[in-house]
Structure 1
Amino acid sequence: MPYLDRDGEVVVLYLGNENETDNENRFHPDWIDRVHALLDEVEATEGPAALVTTATGKFYTNGLDTDHVFANLGALPEYLDRVHTVYTRLLAFPMATVAAVQGHAFGAGAMLALAHDFRVMRADRGYWSLPEVDLQMPFTVGMAGLLEGRLPKQTAVEAMTTGRRYGGEDAKAAAIVEATAGEGDVLAVAVERARALAGKRGPNLGGIKRSLHVRTLEALETPTASSSFSFGQ
Structure 2
Amino acid sequence: MPYLKRDGDVFVLYLGTEGQTIDSENRFHPDWITEVHALLDEVEASEGPAALVVTADGKFFSNGLDTDWLFGNFDKNCWYLDRVHSLYSRLLAFGLPTVAAVNGHAFGAGAMLATSCDFRVMRADRGFWCLPEVHLGMPFTVAMNALLTNRLVNQVAVEAMTTGRRYGADDAIAAGIVDAKADADALLATAIARADMLKANRKPNLPVIKRALHQQALAGLAVETTPENLAFNP
TM-score (norm 2): 0.98
Cα distance in structure 2, aligned partners of 1:230 and 1:204: 40
The one-letter code matched in structure 1 to 2:14 is: Y
Q: Contact 1:129–1:159 at 8 Å: present in 2 too?
A: yes
Cα distance in structure 1, aligned partners of 2:77 and 2:187: 34
Pairs within 5 Å for 1:211-230: 211-227=212-228, 228-230=230-232
Q: Residue in 2 aligned with 1:4?
A: 4
Q: Contact 2:60–2:106 at 8 Å: present in 1 too?
A: yes
Cα distance in structure 1, aligned partners of 2:44 and 2:50: 9
Among all aligned residue pairs of Structure 1 and Structure 2, give the percentage whose two residues are the same amino acid.
63
Cα distance in structure 1, aligned partners of 2:67 and 2:224: 20
Shift of 1:74: 1.1
Q: Contact 2:120–2:180 at 8 Å: present in 1 too?
A: yes
The count of corresponding residues between Structure 1 and Structure 2 is 232
Q: Residue in 1 aligned with 2:100?
A: 99
Q: Contact 2:139–2:232 at 8 Å: present in 1 too?
A: no
Pairs within 5 Å for 1:194-205: 194-205=195-206
Question: Alignment partner of 2:13: what SS?
Answer: strand
Q: Contact 1:73–1:231 at 8 Å: present in 2 too?
A: no
Question: Alignment partner of 2:177: what SS?
Answer: coil
Shift of 1:203: 2.1
Q: Residue in 1 aligned with 2:33?
A: 32
Cα distance in structure 1, aligned partners of 2:204 and 2:219: 20
Q: Residue in 2 aligned with 1:109?
A: 110
Q: Residue in 2 aligned with 1:15?
A: 15
Structure 2: runs of 5+ lacking an equivalent:
none
The one-letter code matched in structure 2 to 1:2 is: P
Pairs within 5 Å for 1:55-134: 55-134=56-135
Q: Residue in 2 aligned with 1:140?
A: 141
Shift of 1:226: 1.2
Q: Residue in 1 aligned with 2:46?
A: 45
The one-letter code matched in structure 2 to 1:34 is: E
1:105-141 superposed Cα distances (whole Å, 9 cap, x missing partner): 0000000000000000011100000000000100001
Question: Alignment partner of 1:185: what SS?
Answer: helix
Shift of 1:183: 1.6
Shift of 1:181: 0.6
Q: Residue in 1 aligned with 2:162?
A: 161
Cα distance in structure 1, aligned partners of 2:232 and 2:90: 29
TM-score (norm 1): 0.98
Q: Residue in 2 aligned with 1:151?
A: 152
Shift of 1:60: 0.1
Shift of 1:63: 0.2
Cα distance in structure 2, aligned partners of 1:230 and 1:108: 17
Question: Alignment partner of 2:111: what SS?
Answer: helix
